[in-house]
A and B are shown apart, each in its own frame.
Chain A
Amino acid sequence: DAGVTQSPTHLIKTRGQHVTLRCSPISGHKSVSWYQQVLGQGPQFIFQYYEKEERGRGNFPDRFSARQFPNYSSELNVNALLLGDSALYLCASSLDVTGYSPLHFGNGTRLTVT
């Protein structure tokens, strides 16, 4: 079975631009979460979606938004990019949103803002 897939793998953007990152969950998984991992640090929670509804939001500005589609894939959008948005963006999927359902991560999208 395919794991969590993220696209693109790498991305270079300029300050002020907008970016869209995409994630396809493992087949059968209905929850998708997004994490930001700045170089040298642990990942930080951005969003969680389940059955197309937002179920949690981390401490990120409104420039960050996301949505989940009927096929459970997801997009993370970031507007008005700042240099500090440069990071590895990880997507994770799980069967549901209980603690019995572990998160499975993709390989991430490396975003560089210049």
Chain B
Amino acid sequence: AQTVTQSQPEMSVQEAETVTLSCTYDTSENNYYLFWYKQPPSRQMILVIRQEAYKQQNATENRFSVNFQKAAKSFSLKISDSQLGDTAMYFCAFMKQWGAGNMLTFGGGTRLMVKP
């Protein structure tokens, strides 16, 4: 079974600064996918960024980037130039494809507050 751990329950950052959210996971799989989802108070889970385990290059989406360390089973999210709209819960998630289906295993989340 896979497990995902987010060790920072809450974090805060000043607007325009950079913040890094941590995530570690445990799996015996070699091929898998990793995701960061954002959940604002509206409750909708929004995909921020994804990483394929077979790719060594770290994924980047505008102000969001990841540091993927496969051997260490670490997958951190860096948010640059933080904006007030980045305030939300952030969930790290693992996807293993098996058989004819797939599923996400989520971490417990990190609540991020961006301060003006």
A residues contacting B by CB (< 8 A) are 33, 35, 41-45, 48, 50, 55-56, 58, 88, 90, 92, 97-99, 102-108, 110
Interface residues of B: mostly helix, strand, loop or mixed? strand
11 of the cross-chain contacts (CB-CB < 8 Å) are A33-B104, A42-B4, A50-B100, A55-B99, A56-B102, A90-B45, A97-B101, A99-B32, A99-B102, A102-B50, A106-B44
Distance of A35 from chain B, by nearest CB (Å): 8
Once A and B bind, how many residue pairs between them come within 8 Å at the CB atom?
65
Rounded to whole Å, the gap between the CB of B28 and the closest CB of chain A is: 17
A108 to B37, CA, bound (A): 15
Q: Do A97 and B100 form a contact, CB below 8 Å, given A92-B45, A102-B50, A107-B44?
A: yes
With beta carbons under 8 angstroms apart, the residue of B46, B50, B108 that contacts A42 is B108
| Choice from B32, B35, B91, B102 contacting A48 with Cβ under 8 Å | B102
User: Chain B interface (Cβ within 8 Å of chain A)?
Assistant: 4, 32-33, 35, 37, 42-47, 50, 52, 91, 93, 95, 97, 99-109
Question: When the two chains form their complex, are residues B106 and A43 in contact, meaning their CB atoms are under 8 A apart?
Answer: yes
Taking a contact as CB atoms under 8 Å apart, the answer to whether B47 and A56 are in contact is no
Residue in B97, B104, B108 whose beta carbon sits within 8 Å of that of A98 in the complex = B97
Docked-complex contact A88 and B100, CB < 8 angstroms: no
B73 smallest CB distance to A (angstroms): 17
B102, closest chain A residue (CB)? A97
Task: Quote the shortest CB–CB distance from B103 to chain A (angstroms).
Answer: 4
Residues of B within 8 A of A33 (CB): 103-104
Cα separation A45 to B103 with both chains bound (whole Å): 7
Is A88's CB under 8 angstroms from B97's CB?
no
- Contact between A105 and B95 (Cβ–Cβ < 8 Å)? no
Beta-carbon contact of A42 and B102 below 8 Å: no
Docked-complex contact A42 and B47, CB < 8 angstroms? no
Residues of B within 8 A of A35 (CB): 104
